[in-house]
Structure 1
Amino acid sequence: MLDNFPFYLSLIVAIVLLIMLANKIKVAYPVLLVVAGLLISFIPEVPTIHIDPELIFFIFLPPLLYEAAWGISWKELWRWRRIITSFAFVVVFLTAISVAFVANHFIPGFSLVLGFLLGGIVSPPDAVSAGAILKFVKVPKRMSSILEGESLLNDASSLIIFRFALIAVATGQFVWYEAALSFSWMLIGGVGIGLLVGWIFMKAHKYLPTDTNMDIVLTIVTPYIMYLAAEEVHSSGVLAVVSGGLLLSNKRHLFLSSTSRLQGVNFWESLCFVLNGLVFMLIGLDLPEITAGLEGVSTSSAIGYGVLITGVLIVGRILSAYGAVLVTLVARNFITVADTRSPGYKVPFILGWTGMRGVVSLAAALSIPLHLPDGTPFPQRNLILFITFVVILLTLLLQGLTLPYLIRKIQIPNMDESLSEEEAYHQIRKQLASHALAHLNTHYKEQLNHQPVLQQMAKKWEQNVTVRDGELMVEECKVIYIDILNQQRDFLHQKNNEEVTLNEEVIRKHLRFLDMEEEKLNFL
């Protein structure tokens, strides 16, 4: 491990540079990272990378799911709950069945159970890939909310299918009522344990004498405890992290200080940036190990099987997207749905095209045991692993590279808001100022007459209320203000260098204040 440390360090540097390049050329960074890992794996004397599935499931997955749960809107998740749960559970299940029948029919030696196992592995789309692509194009809020919500749940449903198929292959039997009970426990137990652990940590943050650093450390520990506690009792660790993360995210203002919230966001963004980069690079680097284990079938035939399964996944997801819209249009006659308007043919197609596969699929394939309980080799393990790799690579390249073009070409109509995001932001800003003024005049009228600081605050809020949209800070003013802030920084650095006895911490506090002033420009 220590011998290869310089190599791993250089990988992190390469990841940062590749993501810079991806942002520059407006390509989703998972695509570049997988391709780069693939190319690096062909370089002679490069260390062979062995991906331990437990490394993905127990080290990478909990924090990535937890951060995603903190970033999603519970209101949007609840609003689109029917289509999200249908994609995360029903569509994943139907996809697994489709893959099972196709694999059983076209791939020699593939039983229906093995096909179902493969279906459980490749059925969940990867959230990181879609999110990285949607950064470069504007899509309606409803679409991004549906994709985010689906990504939180589809990993759980696919891994549940994978577990049942794995048991069926190992034991040679499938008892439906035992599977139903086990499935129910995975769902209920996972959600319940996540909420319980989340509630315990929420009370710990609130009542223990923690500071910002302790709060951030506790947030690191939380998803791992949720995941391990659920897995220990054979329920879904993924659902535990998601449900607990949603609870803490929705209540964060009750138990975290403003400093902990601000610094926590910065920490988690940096952590997940590194983790996401590593996992996609590792997918490409793992190619030699995957191809080395391919025996009994030619590489060309294995690639053909991978292309076939990829086609099934793409077509199946697109059909499912149109099916979900059709069901919604019928269901609106009997129940209340989130939106009664038809989205047309464009939105379902784009939603269906966002089916890139990623690291969860590879980790699941790698976790297939080498041998069955009786000691015989696990049937078709190497071929399943290779097909999974081909599916990940093809969906990332084909869909990942074309999705931004399709979104721009199709021009999806926005049926979500009558106001733009910027207009809505400034409207609420005025309402906040009015609310603050009313509270100040009602509860602190006497202090307002005698305290100059309160009077200045009131004047600032009055300006926010009366300002017209045309009077908002324009880009030219922002440039000038940033230049002034930079001049102030230069003055502080010069003063710190010239006055030997001046406490540098005083200078640093002023520099932090200037940083916050510059950060505020993003909200003006």
Structure 2
Amino acid sequence: MHSILPFLLAMIAAVVLLEMWADKLKIAYPILLVIAGLVISFIPGLPAVRIHPDLIFFIFLPPLLFEAAWSISFKEMKKWWRIIGSFAFLVVFFTALSVALVANHFIPGFTIALGFLLGGIVAPPDAISTGAITKFVKIPRSTSAILEGESLLNDASSLIIFRFALVAVGTGQFIWYQAAATFVWMVIGGAAVGLMLAWAFVQAHKRLPTDASSDIALTLIEPYFMYWAAEQLHCSGVLAVVVGGLYMSTRQLTFLNSASRIQGFSVWSSFVFILNGVVFLIIGLELPEIVEGLRMQGIPLSTAIGYGVLITVVLIIARIISSYAAMIATFLFRPGVAPRRRTNMLLMPLILGWSGMRGVVSLAAALAIPITLDNGTAFPHRNLILFITFVAILLTLVIQGLTLPYFIKRSKLFDHIIENEAHEENRKQMKLGLKLHIHQFMKNKYENELNVHAGMEKYMKLWEERTKSAEDIWMNEKTKTIFAEMLESQRQYLVELNKDPKISEEIIREQLYQIDLEEERLKII
């Protein structure tokens, strides 16, 4: 423990330094982290970092999925649910099937079950990698919402395939009607467990005398409990965390106060950043041990690299084919939302197909493969599956990750988009509507105080002129109470405004955060 702890602390420090360097170079930090892990792994004398396969999902996945569910716009997910659903389920299954068939045909000793196991591992693109890469280029909110929504749900679908394939490899048989019933239970049961526990957690936050620290502590353990409870009932822990996180995210204004939301945002951002960074470093650090396992099994490194390149090519081609199929389906069945420009019709699916970088979930799934089967024999081709997964992650991150921003800029696909202007116009309309709403609210509810209280007269003048006072001595307890009610009224106005499909949820969340800051400032005046 005393030898591994300094190494783990050094890993976290390396994650921070590499992220700053990547930001300066304007490339996605997962790319540098994977390469750095690979380089560090060749330093002699470093302690081995091993996580038990049964714990890998439980340690990393719940908080990463929970935070992603809180960050995504549920409003945008509902708007683009058809294409998100097709990418999250149909495309994942098509990719896993393609990998299974190719692996069964070209890799000696690979059964269809092992092929599906590998396909379930490498099928889901990584949300963190995609988000880190696309932040350096301008893409429309619709494309961003599709990529984020897909990555949130495809983890569940790919891991369901992974679980079925794992059972088939262990038992040597696959009974389709039993698998269908199990699949239905995993999906419905996982979603139900997530909803029920999320509702219970919301009630606990409401009824218990929590403060910001205890609220944040509870949110840190809640995704783990959702995942554990669902897995104990043999349904999808991933879906439980995703559905529960979405439910709690849409109701956070009802059970978290402003301090909990502000501090929780900072805590969760740092926590998830460290988890992601450590995982991407582990990808590189695991390679020497995997290569040693291949050598012991008599598989030449060059042959294993060839298999990894082959599967990576299959992943890329399958996703591009799926993207064009989705575009054709959209054009046939929903022509109203299909791109009008011919260039968009040709290039948009290519860009979506090229954005399928692999990462955290693929690594976690590969490391979760048991070392031995139930009968005690070694799990077939475990090291080869791990190596192919590593190659797929490395190649998609480095090749696609470095070239995607260049392709987007070179294609000029999104140069015609005027979302920034529309976004700013929506922001101006929201702020003007908010100002008129609050002014009317204050006049209707506190008309007498406005006429006789010098502090309130000063505040109303401040509000109307949109200036800031240099002194806060006029803010007594009465005006604090009124001001707090006014802030809550603003929140309710913004919640109603968010129902307008033309208003971006992003600017609503930004303004809600500003209101939270104002409320915290009010407490220290």
Q: Is the 8 Å Cα contact of residues 125 and 356 (structure 2) preserved in structure 1? A: yes
* Separation in 1, partners of 2:6, 2:269: 24
Change over 3 Å in CA distance of 1:260–1:328 after alignment to 2? same
State the Cα distance separating 1:415 from its structure 2 match: 5.8
Change over 3 Å in CA distance of 1:410–1:463 after alignment to 2? farther
State the Cα distance separating 1:463 from its structure 2 match: 2.9
Q: Gaps (5+ residues) in structure 1? A: 468-472, 474-483, 485-515
- Once structures 1 and 2 are overlaid, which stretch shifts more, 436-445 or 297-306? 436-445
Change over 3 Å in CA distance of 1:85–1:45 after alignment to 2? same
| 3-state DSSP of counterpart to 1:348 | helix
* Separation in 2, partners of 1:237, 1:52: 18
* Separation in 2, partners of 1:250, 1:416: 29
Change over 3 Å in CA distance of 1:299–1:249 after alignment to 2? same
When the two structures are superposed, what TM-score results if normalisation uses the length of structure 1?
0.86
Q: Is the 8 Å Cα contact of residues 332 and 340 (structure 1) preserved in structure 2? A: no
Q: Give the match for residue 378 of structure 1.
A: 379
Q: Give the match for residue 364 of structure 1.
A: 365
Q: Give the match for residue 98 of structure 2.
A: 98
Matches within 5 A, 1:384-395: 384-395=385-396
In the TM superposition, structure 1's runs of 4+ consecutive aligned residues that sit over 4 Å from their partners are 337-343, 414-418
Q: Give the match for residue 480 of structure 1.
A: none
Q: Is the 8 Å Cα contact of residues 22 and 28 (structure 1) preserved in structure 2? A: yes
Q: Is the 8 Å Cα contact of residues 304 and 388 (structure 2) preserved in structure 1? A: yes
Change over 3 Å in CA distance of 1:284–1:417 after alignment to 2? same
* Separation in 1, partners of 2:418, 2:379: 50
Q: Give the match for residue 13 of structure 2.
A: 13
State the Cα distance separating 1:461 from its structure 2 match: 3.1
State the Cα distance separating 1:346 from its structure 2 match: 2.3
- Once structures 1 and 2 are overlaid, which stretch shifts more, 408-417 or 302-311? 408-417
State the Cα distance separating 1:417 from its structure 2 match: 4.5
- Kindly provide the CA deviation profile for residues 361-398 of structure 1, in whole angstroms up to 9, marking residues without a partner as x: 12212222223333332222221111111111111111
When the two structures are superposed, what TM-score results if normalisation uses the length of structure 2?
0.86
- Kindly provide the CA deviation profile for residues 67-114 of structure 1, in whole angstroms up to 9, marking residues without a partner as x: 110001110011111111111110000000000111111111112221
State the Cα distance separating 1:443 from its structure 2 match: 2.2
* Separation in 2, partners of 1:329, 1:43: 53
The one-letter code sitting in structure 2 at the alignment partner of 1:275 is: L
Matched, 1:317 2:304: no
State the Cα distance separating 1:416 from its structure 2 match: 8.2
| 3-state DSSP of counterpart to 2:318 | helix
* Separation in 1, partners of 2:259, 2:443: 28
- Once structures 1 and 2 are overlaid, which stretch shifts more, 51-60 or 151-160? 51-60
Q: Give the match for residue 183 of structure 1.
A: 183
- Kindly provide the CA deviation profile for residues 210-265 of structure 1, in whole angstroms up to 9, marking residues without a partner as x: 11111111111111111100011111111101100001100001111111111111
Matches within 5 A, 1:137-156: 137-156=137-156
- Once structures 1 and 2 are overlaid, which stretch shifts more, 414-423 or 245-254? 414-423
Change over 3 Å in CA distance of 1:341–1:247 after alignment to 2? farther
Matches within 5 A, 1:123-138: 123-138=123-138
Change over 3 Å in CA distance of 1:53–1:138 after alignment to 2? farther
Residue 442 (structure 1) aligned to one of 435, 441, 444: 444
State the Cα distance separating 1:341 from its structure 2 match: 4.9
* CA RMSD, Structure 1 to Structure 2 (Å): 2.2
* Separation in 2, partners of 1:444, 1:292: 76
| 3-state DSSP of counterpart to 1:325 | helix
The one-letter code sitting in structure 2 at the alignment partner of 1:175 is: I
Matched, 1:330 2:360: no
Q: Is the 8 Å Cα contact of residues 354 and 399 (structure 1) preserved in structure 2? A: yes
- Kindly provide the CA deviation profile for residues 413-460 of structure 1, in whole angstroms up to 9, marking residues without a partner as x: 366858432332222111110111111122221211122332233223
Q: Identity rate of aligned residues, in percent?
A: 59
Q: Give the match for residue 298 of structure 2.
A: 296
The one-letter code sitting in structure 2 at the alignment partner of 1:436 is: I
* Separation in 2, partners of 1:338, 1:434: 34
Q: Give the match for residue 458 of structure 2.
A: 456
Q: Give the match for residue 198 of structure 1.
A: 198
* Separation in 2, partners of 1:52, 1:415: 48
Matched, 1:39 2:39: yes
* Separation in 2, partners of 1:8, 1:207: 39
The one-letter code sitting in structure 1 at the alignment partner of 2:183 is: F
Q: Give the match for residue 75 of structure 1.
A: 75
* Separation in 2, partners of 1:281, 1:366: 14
* Separation in 2, partners of 1:237, 1:416: 40
Change over 3 Å in CA distance of 1:420–1:172 after alignment to 2? same
| 3-state DSSP of counterpart to 1:48 | coil
Matched, 1:412 2:413: yes
Q: Is the 8 Å Cα contact of residues 137 and 404 (structure 1) preserved in structure 2? A: yes
* Separation in 2, partners of 1:320, 1:460: 56
Q: Give the match for residue 397 of structure 1.
A: 398
How many equivalent pairs are there? Answer: 470
Q: Give the match for residue 217 of structure 1.
A: 217
* Separation in 2, partners of 1:432, 1:2: 56
* Separation in 1, partners of 2:445, 2:4: 64
The one-letter code sitting in structure 1 at the alignment partner of 2:388 is: I
Q: Is the 8 Å Cα contact of residues 104 and 111 (structure 1) preserved in structure 2? A: yes
Change over 3 Å in CA distance of 1:283–1:418 after alignment to 2? closer
Q: Give the match for residue 495 of structure 1.
A: none
State the Cα distance separating 1:325 from its structure 2 match: 1.1
Q: Is the 8 Å Cα contact of residues 323 and 352 (structure 2) preserved in structure 1? A: yes
- Kindly provide the CA deviation profile for residues 6-39 of structure 1, in whole angstroms up to 9, marking residues without a partner as x: 1111111111111000000001000000100100
Q: Is the 8 Å Cα contact of residues 434 and 462 (structure 1) preserved in structure 2? A: no
The one-letter code sitting in structure 2 at the alignment partner of 1:455 is: E
* Separation in 2, partners of 1:112, 1:367: 19
Change over 3 Å in CA distance of 1:195–1:138 after alignment to 2? same
* Separation in 2, partners of 1:200, 1:352: 40
* Separation in 2, partners of 1:375, 1:228: 26
* Separation in 1, partners of 2:458, 2:411: 50
* Separation in 2, partners of 1:460, 1:70: 35
* Separation in 2, partners of 1:338, 1:199: 35
Q: Give the match for residue 350 of structure 1.
A: 351
The one-letter code sitting in structure 2 at the alignment partner of 1:435 is: H
